[in-house]
Amino acid sequence: MTSLVDSFNGLLWAAKGSFPQHRTFRRMRELAYGFITTWGRRTISRAICAVHHQFQDWSAFYRLFSRSPWEPNDVFQPILEQSVAIAPETGPIAIAMDDTTVKKSSLRIPGVSYARDPMSPKFHPNLILGQRFIQAATIVRPEGLDGPARTIPIRFQPAPPPPKPAKAASEEELKAYRKEKKAQSLTAQGVEVIKDIRKRIDTAGFEKRTVLFAVDGGYCNKTVFRGLPDRVDILGRTRGDITLYLPPTAEQLAGKGRRRKYGDLLPKPEDIRKNDQVEWREAKIWGAGRTHQLKYKLVENVLWRSAARARPLRLIIVAPLGYRRTPKSRKLYRKPAYLITTDLVTPIEILIQAYFDRWEIEVNHRDEKSMFGIGQAQVWSKQAAPRVPQFLVALYAMLLLASLQAYGPRRTDQYQQRSAWYQKRGGRPSITDILALFREELIVEGVAKTPTAPCTPGGRHASRPKAMPKAG
């Protein structure tokens, strides 16, 4: 059986072509093991100390991020190829996409700006300093509907807003800023990420398969719907009060005058949900740790004039799921979901499951910030500031993919035993379990290769090395 370290090392070597020289790749590989095995903050200096290079010249490791000509997206390419290869063969390649903000401490760091704190209460939004990134992750389901999905990050693209001009700026400068702000909006940069991923999937040999991007409401707008490339579909959550139309009928098209693009006005999605004349259907979906029989309504061939123009869409209305906080508490319900998609072929069960699996990218964000410490490295270079978080996310993706390749999706006997208070058995390993197993395998491998000192009859301290001579 292949170990976790061997699978991870294989993914590192697959990314060797991304670096211009072998020595650059060697330093990258040393830093990779240093970032994973170090304790505390994930800084470059701690990673250097973890691989015992603290008594050497540090500058080469810092130049790896600030000067070396390598592309972070090329490092993600072997991750993309191998994660797509283990994705479900039926249906489109499902990819979750979302943005996140990495907290920083100064506006002088390149790419840092003020952003809304997502953890602040709704009635009092707060601001934080941070770097904005767009993350895309392949959704893989190694167990089908018998277990949870995994999202393997394949892109962590910096998406900084344009710098705001000074108060004394001229009207021309303000006009140029507004134009650049629109061109560099979050959704516009998200479309560029979608296009680049489509090209790289074609390069990997999957040009015949369509790609489905599962997004939240922030990317469900006209910029994304009108900018999609070929063989790419979008599945997003929208509001319950959007205006939808039916396609024009033959009678409406036969009339005189300008050719009609839109037919009769449809009720609001919220009104369709409340309408008893539209039948509820059932689908088997995995979510929140178990299988659910949820209800949904489907409206085919709808037109969203303000976003997708005359492109036909599908509207999916998901009924609220019931849950209990404790086994004896009363039953509560979540909010309904209004999904809209450009995919007119894929079965509805697969589409709903893809949107439920999109939640795993939020788990990625939590693990990357809490366990991998993206944003903790103290770098100020224009190239190094976004590169270090991208490199750490690539290592995180390699670990997730290596754990699937080595031991499968389930928690096997190779992982450490869970704590006594943890009642659930089995399940999938967390990133904490994977990190602990990785360190354990490195220690076992290192001890096995370390020669033992021979025993001498001089006593317990006879083999102790002599003290180093003093300088001078």
pLDDT score, position 345: 95
Structural domain containing residue 291: 237-323+330-346
> Is the pLDDT assigned to residue 12 strictly greater than 90?
yes
pLDDT at 464 (0 to 100) = 42
Total domain count for the chain? 1
Residue 164: CB atoms within 10 A of its CB come to 12
Crossing angle of helices 431-449 and 22-37, rounded to 10°: 110
Determine, yes or no, domain membership for 445: no
pLDDT at 235 over 80: yes
User: Is 12 within 8 Å of 394 (Cβ atoms)?
Assistant: no
Name which of 203-207, 301-305, 314-318, 448-452 the model is least confident about: 448-452
Query: Considering the domain boundaries, does residue 248 fall inside one?
Result: yes
Residue 465, in any domain of the structure: no
pLDDT of residue 118: 84
Domain membership flag for residue 135: no
Q: What kind and span of H or E run contains 150? A: strand 150-158
Distance CA 31, CA 33 (A): 5
Would residue 423 count as lying in a domain?
Answer: no
Q: pLDDT tens-digit profile of 78-112?
A: 999 999 998 887 789 999 999 999 999 899 999 99
3-state secondary structure 402-417: HHHHHHCCCCCCCCCC
pLDDT score of 247 more than 80: yes
Q: Give me the helices (H) in 161-275, please.
A: 171-183, 186-203, 222-225, 250-253, 269-274
Burial (Cβ within 10 Å: 0-12, 13-18, ≥19) of residue 469: exposed
pLDDT tier, 43 (very low <50, low <70, confident <90, very high otherwise) = very high
Domain annotation covers residue 251? yes
What's the confidence (pLDDT) of residue 448? 63
CA distance 345 to 351: 10
Q: Residue 167's pLDDT is what?
A: 87
- Whether 471 shows a pLDDT value over 60: the answer reads no
- Domain membership of residue 202 (yes or no) is no
Q: Does the structure show a pLDDT above 50 at 407?
A: yes
Q: Is the pLDDT of residue 328 over 90?
A: no
pLDDT value at residue 462: 42
- Answer whether residue 307 is part of any domain: yes
- Model confidence at 450, in pLDDT bands (50, 70, 90)? low
